[in-house]
Amino acid sequence: MNKPPTFRPAGPLTLALLMAAATAITVASAAHAQPAAPNEAQPATIAANAAMQQSLPFANREDFDDARRGFIATIPDATVPGSGARPVWSMQRYGFLQADQPPTSVNPSLWRQAQLNAIHGLFKVTERVYQVRGLDISNLTIVEGDTGLILIDPLISTETAKAALDLYLANRPRKPVVAVVYSHSHIDHFGGVKGVVDEAEVKAGRVAIVAPDGFLEHAVAENVLAGNAMGRRAQYMYGSLLPPGSKGQVDAGLGKNVSRGSITLIAPTDLIRKNLETRTIDGVQIVFHLTPGTEAPSEMNLYFPQFRLLDMAENVTHNMHNLYTLRGAEVRDGNAWSQYIGEAMEQFGAKADVLIAQHHWPTWGTEKIVAAMARQRDLYKFINDQSLRLLNQGYKPDEIAAELKLPASLANDWAARGYYGTLIHNAKAVYQKYMGWYDANPANLNPLPPVESAKKNIEYMGGAAAVIARARDDFAKGNYRWVASVMNQVVFADPANTEARALGADALEQLGYQAESGPWRNVYLFGAQELRGGVTQLAASTIPTDLVRALPMDMVFDSMGTRLNGPRAEGRRIVINWALSDTGETYVLNLENAALTHIKGKQAEKADVSLQLTRATWDAVLLKELALPDAMKSGQIKVIGNPAKLVELFSLLDNFTPQFEIVEPRKAAP
């Protein structure tokens, strides 16, 4: 075997999953200057928020009673320490929410939701069913079996999950965990599993891991191929780099924020493949209602006949959810979502005394449960059908979003308010699902790219100075949406224009102060922060080890394909055989026509180079636990043929920049 040359391959597989990207970052490495102090709410913002205060039934405090019902105990300030000085989770920074009246810099409806999401601790839901809420963005549900505990959705981080279980065990009889149920494939519903379960217990068969069909595939897949971009956008959506405060981050709508701890995964041992399948786990009967393609690609509701309790996972929560999420993802099907809520209502509604979800607080009483489910069912159906009605009349996405208004019966329901999803961006999502990005106007078929377009627009409007002068007048009139838009044009035409950056930031800030949606507020305020201070430079995020190891090799190769630099790969031809001795998998990886493809179960007769290794060795390389040259020198990776071809392939893979520009032009790649 030829001696492998010394080389440093391109960085490992990008796996910037939603919460990992939003949580595994550190602000300590920020390299830009501290941004300017936030401004006060302007008269137009004060008026808009005052009008909101008058338009909704704020006197109704029933949700606050429900959110506190059954309270047993909590952790002081809900603080969960981490390995460093900064806690993994803490509500201490949100003490400002204790004020009775919202400040003028926060939409009063969002303020109300933020106060509700700040209520934390261990709560009794009904006999043998408990929840820990407010120790992460999601809830840990604990069901007491005959001999042990059944845990539903162990949060994002091992630290918060352990703290939640410890809080329960400090106040209830100590029993072992006998099962963990993942309600769906989003990371805030499984990432903390190793904080509550020892994987050795699972492998020994003493703890079951139950999940809906397709869970593992979707759990590791959703954010892999576009993970770098999703991770960056998640910073905007969750406001994880914004300081909490009345002029900063106050809430995420679905919960307070995302925890910053260690993310893990244990593969399911028991998949629910049949709809309405009934299992008895440790003496507890559970009916599993599969709801694929709703809030997550793999999701299920759970009904507990003994307790007359219905868990709607994340399909029915106390807000309008996302048909499209601002971090970026495939559009969700509002029609299917509505149908599955209707199915659950028909199957279980009249047999439920309490409704819970894996976010927010419970609803008690059969009549209230059925009514709440009906409104949620009709909410997603309304958005889907009315968007399609206008679409079929020729309305464009922005026109549909401007035209749609919820009926009063939904608009006055707190649980249908746009704290997370909004009517505006969900309506556009319906258009995207059915019609794609093109609005059929030929002028929009192939427009100039952003920088070129911005330069021509500003030129036509008389130059940057004239545009800024007019925009200041519009700012004074409260036309913040327009000011933000036109200042974006100036910044893209000239990113060094400090006046445009400052005025654009001021406009975004006022839009954030007015936003009812937690993610919208975060997006606006973080955009303002980066216009004022530049892109925050961060330390490299930690790739969740368990998720990398769960990644199918097909997806590893697909991810490599997304990193292939097409222009540099043009004219090159490389064929590599892969043989994984521990899994028995074989692949042919082929570079041709500037595209990287692979075939499973084959070995090419005339490969340039053949690799023999274990999947464990390759995982160690991906996780940077083992350098590829070292693995080759030690024989952990056996190389037959020309190793220079392997070097050549890796030299053609781009390393993505995690902190790329969003509110200013993208800088040229190095």
**5 found inside a domain:** no
Q: Report which of 487, 435, 446, 13 is spatially closest to residue 227, judged by C-alpha positions.
A: 13
**59 found inside a domain:** no
Range(s) of the domain holding residue 465: 447-532
Same-domain status, 603 and 500:
no
CA dihedral 47, 50, 51, 57 (to 10 degrees): 170
Report the distance separating Cα 40 and Cα 506, nearest Å: 10
The per-residue pLDDT for 16 is 35
Same-domain status, 514 and 549:
no
* pTM given for the model: 0.94
| CA 591 to chain centroid | 33
Taking a C-beta distance cutoff of 8 angstroms, is the pair 212, 298 a contact? yes
Taking a C-beta distance cutoff of 8 angstroms, is the pair 540, 657 a contact? no
The per-residue pLDDT for 543 is 72
* Ramachandran region, residue 77 (left: φ > 0; alpha: ψ -120 to 50; beta: rest): left
Taking a C-beta distance cutoff of 8 angstroms, is the pair 350, 452 a contact? no
**Two tokens at 38?**
């936030």
Pairing of strands 208-212, 270-272: parallel
Same-domain status, 367 and 473:
no
Q: Could you tell me the CATH number of the domain that includes residue 494?
A: 1.25.40.880
447 Cβ partners below 8 Å, 6+ apart?
A: 453
Percent of the chain with pLDDT over 90: 89
The per-residue pLDDT for 192 is 98
- Give 495-503 contacts, CB < 8 A, sequence gap 24+: 495/664, 495/665, 497/464, 499/464, 499/468, 500/464, 500/467, 500/468, 501/531, 501/532, 501/664, 502/36, 502/531, 502/532, 503/468, 503/471, 503/472, 503/475
Report the distance separating Cα 518 and Cα 69, nearest Å: 25
Same-domain status, 202 and 301:
yes
Same-domain status, 221 and 286:
yes
**209 found inside a domain:** yes
Same-domain status, 524 and 565:
no
The per-residue pLDDT for 667 is 87
Q: Could you tell me the CATH number of the domain that includes residue 325?
A: 3.60.15.30
Same-domain status, 218 and 147:
yes
Report the distance separating Cα 230 and Cα 310, nearest Å: 32
Helix (H) or strand (E) holding 574: strand 574-580
- Specify the number of domains making up the chain: 3
Same-domain status, 117 and 214:
yes
Q: Mean pLDDT in runs of 10 for the chain (670 residues)?
A: 34 36 35 70 98 96 98 98 92 96 97 98 98 98 98 98 98 98 97 98 98 95 86 95 97 96 96 98 98 97 98 98 95 98 98 98 98 98 98 98 98 98 98 97 97 98 98 98 98 98 98 98 98 87 83 94 97 98 97 98 97 96 92 95 94 93 84
Q: Could you tell me the CATH number of the domain that includes residue 571?
A: 3.30.1050.10
The per-residue pLDDT for 573 is 98
**Cβ neighbour number for residue 213 with a 10 Å cutoff:** 18
Report the distance separating Cα 62 and Cα 66, nearest Å: 6
The per-residue pLDDT for 540 is 66
